Structure 1
């Protein structure tokens, strides 16, 4: 087994939302080590332009390479993936880089009514990458797109009142959810933060609607690329499952989120990059 197999997998997001992807990665790859970067000091990404997102994504990726010798990189943010992943892959051609995108294709396969809701940040919905994906599927379903400014931030702040109010506003604006003809029966959560607001979202959509997120497909693709590169960790080392948490913002917030959402009580390191 090559020595690179012992190296960690880097994961980054604009803040806390990528923890939903990290949760899926840990379930799929329990032996692997991870380094998670929450770029909370430069959030929210959802209202940033592409130039800014490319700069931040590049800065974090280079730091993960230099300081942790990562063997793969997971961009656990829909907005950063849409804006920057092509630049990251060009800059690091030998590094497996896995991005995340709204699960439109699985939604088409899942929906029975042919009406699919998509909730995402304004930047994701406006991105060229998303628009290409949407155009490729336009003749297979009707998509109801809902930009959700402020929702990711409300979730990051653990503000149940703001989160609930935002979820109610956005789901109400989308139309009727259900399983009858013309209803939205499948909802794509196009931001990694949104799975942590599922309880609030269910109040607006009901429990018959299928929810789709991107964490599990990302985890499976990460496994495939590690196998291809012969760097999948097949043994259980003494530091199996270890996660190094870093935040460019309030480290206490990331620590609280990791404990609340992942059941992990661990130290979070302050990061200035």
Structure 2
């Protein structure tokens, strides 16, 4: 693909904006294209075969139209399911994936009790279990699947009311006490969740380290781009495409706060 194309950052909704924010900080001269497959949101509820097929088809179109220099899949559910298939189908484009930050959590924990807060799809994925087997065998890792937290995060980010009771219902399973020890790290295994991290801190039964993957993903993007990283400003604006083609002034204002101009899904 052309090295002058944008860096494409993909998520099912607004969660990947946490990664875009870090990427812009580390790569200030890159042109960024944010793509949200909001027509499929929440993708954690899709049957796996259907979701994999959708990802392969959608990325085929995106690559053909926008010729990105790199693609960041800022979604644990999409990448753990379809990452290998996408890399095989489109070998000319470097993909940067998102996986639960289980390795750094295992290296950082003092109590040995870690929780992974994720979508049900990520919790079910063999990829997640293999990360635990590879990097956290010495720890007790609790997988906590939330059906609603990604949607609650979207509502929060759009300025809608999300009450503490709703959030506590989703995160309470993360907190475990055993033999005088307590959970001390919660892995935020969905890019939507960091938008709620400050709320989590206020309502948590005790302090824990909420592990946000966004910075690590952005650092990996820097490594993947290497010498191809842009070294001077571009005249091209940073844009956002949503697959549902929303006509939503509130969304446009929200995206403008992230330096993005909302465009039609066909790239117009």
Q: Which position in structure 2 is the counterpart of 1:172?
A: 172
Q: Which position in structure 2 is the counterpart of 1:155?
A: 153
2:241 aligned with 1:246: yes
RMSD: 2.3
2:254 aligned with 1:232: no
Find the residue that maps to 1:11 and give its secondary structure: strand
Residues 180-189 or 112-121, more deviating? 180-189
Shift of 1:26: 0.9
Q: Pick closer, same or farther for the CA change 1:265–1:99 going to 2, 3 Å.
A: closer
Q: Which position in structure 1 is the counterpart of 2:195?
A: 196
Find the residue that maps to 2:117 and give its secondary structure: strand
Q: Which position in structure 2 is the counterpart of 1:213?
A: 212
Residues in 1 aligned to 2:81 and 2:176: alpha-carbon distance in whole angstroms: 31
Q: How does 1:84-123 map to 2 (within 5 A)?
A: 84-123=82-121
Stretches of structure 2 lacking an aligned partner (at least 5 in a row)? none
Shift of 1:10: 1.0
What is the TM-score when the length of structure 2 is the normalising length?
0.89
Deviant stretches of 4+, over 6 Å: none
**Aligned partners of 2:155 and 2:161 also within 8 Å:** no
Residues 117-126 or 167-176, more deviating? 167-176
Find the residue that maps to 2:131 and give its secondary structure: helix
2:112 aligned with 1:124: no
Stretches of structure 1 lacking an aligned partner (at least 5 in a row)? none
2:262 aligned with 1:268: yes
Residues in 2 aligned to 1:245 and 1:266: alpha-carbon distance in whole angstroms: 6
Q: Which position in structure 2 is the counterpart of 1:46?
A: 44
Shift of 1:175: 2.8
Shift of 1:65: 1.2
Residues in 1 aligned to 2:108 and 2:160: alpha-carbon distance in whole angstroms: 30
Q: Pick closer, same or farther for the CA change 1:5–1:99 going to 2, 3 Å.
A: same
What CA deviation, in whole Å up to 9, does each residue of 1:189-231 have, x standing for no partner?
000100011122113326731111221111111111111xx42
Residues in 2 aligned to 1:53 and 1:256: alpha-carbon distance in whole angstroms: 30
Residues in 2 aligned to 1:197 and 1:265: alpha-carbon distance in whole angstroms: 21
What CA deviation, in whole Å up to 9, does each residue of 1:238-262 have, x standing for no partner?
34xx311111233526434424xxx
Shift of 1:232: 1.4
Q: Pick closer, same or farther for the CA change 1:73–1:48 going to 2, 3 Å.
A: same
